Structure 1
Amino acid sequence: MISTTRRLFKPVDIAPLVVFRILFGFLLFAETFGAILTGWVQRNLVKPSFTFSHIGFEWLQPFPGMGMYFYFGLMAVLGICIMVGFRYRFSLGLFTLLWAGAYLMQKESYNNHYYLLLLVCLIMLLLPANGYASVDTRRNPHIKRLSMPYWCSLLMIVQISIVYFFATVSKFYPGWINGDFIRIVLSGKTHYPIVGQFFDKHWFHLFISWTGIFFDGSIVLLLLFRRTRTIALILSLIFHLFNSMVLQIGIFPFFALSFVLFFYPSDVIRKRFFPKKLPIISDTPDYFGKDLLKWIVLPYVLIQLLLPIRHWFIKGDVLWTEEGHRLSWRMMLRQRNGFAQFEVVDVKTGQTHIYPLSKLDQKQVDFATSKPDGIWQMCQRIKSEYNQKGKDVKIFVKARVSINSGPYLEFIDPKIDMAQASWNYFGHADWILLYDDQGKRISR
């Protein structure tokens, strides 16, 4: 126990954390300002009349008019402040709050790296990332630090290891192993130079599928050992640059690459990026954050280990039900397609009609007809709309869903009044129909 404690609080050079802060701040700026420039804000937060917020946060809706442009513009400015270390805690704290709001505000464009950004913001709030090469240290030299306890680097390694581990485990299902999903992803992209000619070849789909498993499953181990670290860095560059070019997933490939900093010896990072910085000369344990480690960091890591396995304890296949899918690092695994009819029955008169989805844009229609939470939330919106008119209604849904271009199967029990159905946060919702491996309905 004593040796473990000494190891956790062993002083190491602060350089990796400082370089990461600079890169992280720039990526936050690029993500938020880029969301404005590319039209993402306009398409997802300005144009729609409402958004599907995370369940429990339906009250959280985009600001009207130009509000969301200013919202993301402020986050872009805060990203620059984080990068240069100007009022670091305030800037990062406010950014984290604003990013959490943007994250919870809409699910139609859900992306795992939005969640990872939020987690890393929370982690970085705990770490002394402004202790060197920052505006804050120029304004207040007393906060300057040459070192940090080793647990600061270890926490970042653990976080990215969790991401890669569960990303690997989730890929062991037929649709990934046989290349079906990769085939769908690469469909229509044969125009890419050099590699594009292979995008419609089955052997290439299998190559990419198994390469993805190998990379996610081995990259952390390869980075941990000195002899394989440079090879791992080269593999990371190839893998993430390919993903950036073909999948066009924003800053995530570069964000993932930035974690490599914590796998190299801190003195190596110091010599590469801060050659004039004085090395640390003391082996005296640095007990910065001792209480944080015990009461916040360790529970945080435990939660991160539990969230991705919760779907194993929920009835049904998560690939079909989506229950326990989010916050589990199940990244780029499936394509869901669906269609649904929302039959509204006036309880008093018995009149029935199909609710039109004309108020929704195409992305919202896709979400509200193929995802269980989207279908449930759509039903609650319909119910609320009629209740405001003084009408009590029943809602029955006829929905069919296809996974990875497979057969369309009935998804929602058409006999259940979805206006009265509840959302199950921790288990299986009985209004989602289940099937066995042969596609036969499983009776409840």
Structure 2
Amino acid sequence: MLSNILFQRIDNSQIIIFRIFFGLLMAVECWGSIGTGWVTETFVETKFSFTFIGFEWTRFLLGETMYYVYGFLGLMGIFIMLGAFYRITTVIFALGWSLVYFMQKEHYNNHYYLVMLIAWFMVFIPANRYKAVDVWLWPQIRSNYSYLWTRLIFILQLLIVYTFAALAKLYPGWMNGDFLMIRYRSVARWAHENIAWEPLTEMFRTREFAQVFSWLGFGFDLLIVPLLLWKRTRVFAFFAALFFHIFNSATLHIGIFPYFALALAIFCFPAESMRKLFFPRKTSFVPGSTEFQPRHKNQVFFSFVFSVYIIWQIYLPLRHWHIPGDVLWTEEGHRLSWRMMLRTKSATTQFFMVDKATGERNSVNLNEYMTGLQRNRVVTRPDMIWYFVQYLKKDQLKKGKEIEVYVHSRLSINRGPYHNYIDSSVDLADTKWEYFGHQDWILPEPEDYSKKEPIR
């Protein structure tokens, strides 16, 4: 039953349009990362990278090689946009983007993760059957239809992203405007320096302004996909999304994501409307046509894989509920969960090495190991703290020293008071990472992040 639904034939205009937008945006992202110095800061100037655990082997690429990697990925984006050698270029891009994604955590955000997922969608979706170089080279592949799953997977992924992004905002620091007040301070400074109209500057600084946009952000994430899918609200929802994403792009500086999200909104519109708007000369696909026969090979198996993928995507944002502690505090279950732009953290964190042979205790100078960005990130993220400790342990072992490492850390969320974060009595060099559970050396979260701890 499900397989028959997923393999219903539909007009393929949407996946063709999205292929063009996707390829162009990926080229802009990759080449822009070089032009803005992002690649230099993240991969060239660093001595080592905070890779995802298990991807330490990728460090051999660090250095100027990464300019060529990103330049090549940008070129693959252009090939995808043009539909040129589509099968091989989508595979290369998906593999390459996955590689650079797992190579570093300093700049982690859910947008890069979403791009990786979509890149792998494109590997399996036949988006080169129209307006593509491949059609010019191999005319026999030209087609005006696809299958329902090639549209449905984008809609479901978009629904999962926005729904869980909304649910993650249901905590006091977002709903009362604490986080956005901090973010909009830079907007207020920009308005003061460039517009010099004090009422506007003061408005950006107020809690009421931050609260309004906090609630609007929550409502937008929760409702935008259903409103885009409903015929009566679709046009209004699209213009609301246009304003929302352009405003966020201008004020929060979140890269290509606003435009990527707008491109994905194509799948919420009727295929025939998109065909008439973008490809008025393209032959319309009539459901039930016998011109092409649907493929039934592996249809049941594919439907099973499709279902497992969607269930997994729903599970990942929920997994933190079976891990002790607040994910806002522990970060356990934060990644791959669409918890986007929720909080700002700061910490005072010190690492101490103790020589097991002599008992000598020394403070670790992070400047000797990390860039400024890495120092800012490692002090607030438990997995990066543990990762760096393991790096220290191996580095000192090469010098003939066996060490213990202790961490003293106090953490603040959304500019609130500092609270004790890491158990300083635990030798982190002698701990293992609990991949699916809680790290016992992370101290319990405070009852209220905005209040100071009582003096004991």
TM-score (norm 2): 0.93
Determine the structure 1 residue equivalent to 2:411. Answer: 401
Task: State the 1:290 CA deviation.
Answer: 2.2
Aligned partners of 2:136, 2:30: CA distance in 1, in Å?
27
- Note if 1:417 corresponds to 2:427: yes
Q: Give % identity.
A: 42
Q: 1:215 to 1:438 in 2, by over 3 A?
A: closer
Determine the structure 1 residue equivalent to 2:386. Answer: 376
> Would the aligned equivalents of 1:146 and 1:278 in 2 still touch at CA under 8 Å?
yes
Determine the structure 2 residue equivalent to 1:330. Answer: 339
Determine the structure 1 residue equivalent to 2:251. Answer: 246
Q: Extract structure 1 runs of 4+ deviating beyond 6 A.
A: none
> Would the aligned equivalents of 2:7 and 2:147 in 1 still touch at CA under 8 Å?
yes
- Note if 1:128 corresponds to 2:126: yes
Aligned partners of 2:325, 2:124: CA distance in 1, in Å?
38
> Would the aligned equivalents of 2:52 and 2:105 in 1 still touch at CA under 8 Å?
yes
Match of 2:239 among 229, 234, 243: 234
Name the stretch that deviates more: 171-180 or 370-379. Answer: 370-379
Aligned partners of 2:445, 2:287: CA distance in 1, in Å?
62
Aligned partners of 1:153, 1:60: CA distance in 2, in Å?
34
Write the letter of the residue equivalent to 1:187: R
Aligned partners of 2:366, 2:422: CA distance in 1, in Å?
18
Write the letter of the residue equivalent to 1:244: S
Determine the structure 2 residue equivalent to 1:16. Answer: 14
Determine the structure 1 residue equivalent to 2:294. Answer: 286
Task: State the 1:211 CA deviation.
Answer: 0.2
Task: State the 1:295 CA deviation.
Answer: 3.8
> Would the aligned equivalents of 1:339 and 1:369 in 2 still touch at CA under 8 Å?
yes
Write the letter of the residue equivalent to 2:157: Q
Unaligned runs of 5+ in 1: none
Aligned partners of 2:67, 2:163: CA distance in 1, in Å?
36
Determine the structure 1 residue equivalent to 2:262. Answer: 257
- Note if 1:429 corresponds to 2:439: yes
> Would the aligned equivalents of 2:43 and 2:62 in 1 still touch at CA under 8 Å?
no
Write the letter of the residue equivalent to 1:261: I
Deviations 1:126-185 (A, max 9, x none): 111111111111111121110111121111000010000100000000000100000011
- Note if 1:304 corresponds to 2:313: yes
Task: State the 1:196 CA deviation.
Answer: 4.9
> Would the aligned equivalents of 1:29 and 1:80 in 2 still touch at CA under 8 Å?
yes
Determine the structure 2 residue equivalent to 1:142. Answer: 140
- 1:312-351 matches, cutoff 5 A: 312-351=321-360
Determine the structure 2 residue equivalent to 1:162. Answer: 160
Task: State the 1:370 CA deviation.
Answer: 1.0
Task: State the 1:371 CA deviation.
Answer: 0.6
Aligned partners of 1:168, 1:149: CA distance in 2, in Å?
30
Task: State the 1:64 CA deviation.
Answer: 4.8
Aligned residues: 439
> Would the aligned equivalents of 1:341 and 1:354 in 2 still touch at CA under 8 Å?
yes
Match of 1:270 among 275, 290, 298: 275
Q: 1:13 to 1:121 in 2, by over 3 A?
A: same
Deviations 1:336-364 (A, max 9, x none): 11121111111111111111111211111
Aligned partners of 1:97, 1:403: CA distance in 2, in Å?
36
Match of 1:49 among 47, 50, 53: 47
Task: State the 1:63 CA deviation.
Answer: 2.5
Q: 1:128 to 1:291 in 2, by over 3 A?
A: farther
Unaligned runs of 5+ in 2: none
Task: State the 1:310 CA deviation.
Answer: 0.4
Deviations 1:249-301 (A, max 9, x none): 11000000011111111111111111111111341573467246324322111
Match of 1:215 among 217, 220, 224: 220
Task: State the 1:101 CA deviation.
Answer: 1.0
Determine the structure 2 residue equivalent to 1:151. Answer: 149
Write the letter of the residue equivalent to 2:67: Y
RMSD, matched Cα: 1.7
> Would the aligned equivalents of 1:342 and 1:398 in 2 still touch at CA under 8 Å?
yes
Aligned partners of 2:328, 2:295: CA distance in 1, in Å?
44
Aligned partners of 1:201, 1:368: CA distance in 2, in Å?
31
Write the letter of the residue equivalent to 1:10: Q
> Would the aligned equivalents of 2:403 and 2:429 in 1 still touch at CA under 8 Å?
yes
Determine the structure 1 residue equivalent to 2:82. Answer: 84
Aligned partners of 2:201, 2:264: CA distance in 1, in Å?
29
- Note if 1:67 corresponds to 2:65: yes
Determine the structure 1 residue equivalent to 2:95. Answer: 97
* Secondary structure of the structure 1 residue equivalent to 2:428: coil
Write the letter of the residue equivalent to 2:426: I
TM-score (norm 1): 0.95
Aligned partners of 2:167, 2:110: CA distance in 1, in Å?
16
Task: State the 1:390 CA deviation.
Answer: 1.2
Q: 1:84 to 1:30 in 2, by over 3 A?
A: same
Write the letter of the residue equivalent to 1:348: A
Deviations 1:310-338 (A, max 9, x none): 00110000000000000000000010111
Write the letter of the residue equivalent to 1:148: S
Name the stretch that deviates more: 275-284 or 408-417. Answer: 275-284
Deviations 1:176-220 (A, max 9, x none): 010000001111321235865521011111100000011000001
- 1:356-375 matches, cutoff 5 A: 356-359=365-368, 360-375=370-385
Aligned partners of 2:448, 2:67: CA distance in 1, in Å?
49
Aligned partners of 1:352, 1:85: CA distance in 2, in Å?
60
Write the letter of the residue equivalent to 2:105: K
Aligned partners of 1:152, 1:290: CA distance in 2, in Å?
13
Q: 1:26 to 1:62 in 2, by over 3 A?
A: farther
Aligned partners of 1:129, 1:231: CA distance in 2, in Å?
28
> Would the aligned equivalents of 2:43 and 2:63 in 1 still touch at CA under 8 Å?
no
Task: State the 1:55 CA deviation.
Answer: 1.2
Write the letter of the residue equivalent to 2:334: H
> Would the aligned equivalents of 2:419 and 2:446 in 1 still touch at CA under 8 Å?
no
